[in-house]
Amino acid sequence: MNIYEEIYQENMDMLMHSLAERTQLGKQKWEELRYYPVSFIQDDDSEEREAYISHMFEMETEFNGRRYFLELSETISLPSRKADVFGTITYETDEDERKYDFGTIVDFDGCEENPGGRNVIIELANSVIAVFGRTEAVEFGFSYARYYNQKDVKQKWKKDRLVRLGKKLMEEKQMEDFHRIVLEKEFREELLNEMI
């Protein structure tokens, strides 16, 4: 990474931290909230993962005179059970539209991508997901959603406890609990232990 890329990444990290902090303090207003509920995807084309469970958020805000569009996804890959939090911030400059992709791996074995320091991606995810709460965007998302959107889902996945837990959280409209099982090992294990 060259010096310009490093400076750009540092600026974007500061932006994400500012948005997260202002959101937590109730100073940042988010609009055009869209929620895509928990769903299971069998990924037959990938060599790295066979399937994943995910949900996604989209929202817009204005900060320092500039409009930002945020896409945020949380995913649990199978069979590894490792979680990712990733997304894109899109904004316009005087010259063109810019996109900044970000992501972090949540590894319960202590191998998080950003060890020892604050993780602005997790900060941002925690703060903006809290905005959604029980909003109309979440209710609307769940109103049409299906957990399995593909035909011929392999039986091994339908029997998997984590896949069944994802389905249960989707059916019970538990967006916040899915967010927590992405980030919190103990909470995930607690809910998995409740599965028959």
Residues 93-110: pLDDT tens digits? Answer: 888 999 999 999 986 654
115 confidence band (pLDDT: 50, 70, 90): very low
Question: 43 and 49 in contact (C-beta within 8 Å)?
Answer: yes
Query: What would the mean pLDDT of 80-86 be, rounded to a whole number?
Result: 94
The answer to whether residue 65 scores a pLDDT higher than 70 is: yes
Looking at this protein, which amino acid is placed at residue 144? Y
Please report, rounded to a whole number, the percentage of residues in the chain having pLDDT higher than 90: 80
| pTM score, whole prediction | 0.90
pLDDT at 111 over 60: no
Q: Per residue in 6-56, pLDDT tens?
A: 999 999 999 999 999 999 999 999 999 999 999 999 987 766 679 999 999
Is the pLDDT at 79 greater than 70, yes or no? yes
Q: For the range 74-77, what are the long-range contacts, defined as Cβ-Cβ under 8 Å and sequence gap of 24 or more?
A: 74/125, 74/178, 74/179, 74/182, 75/182, 76/52, 76/162, 76/166, 76/181, 76/182, 77/48, 77/49, 77/51, 77/52
Whether the predicted pLDDT of 70 surpasses 50: yes
DSSP 127: H
pLDDT of residue 140: 94
- Taking all residues of the chain, what is their mean pLDDT, rounded to a whole number? 91
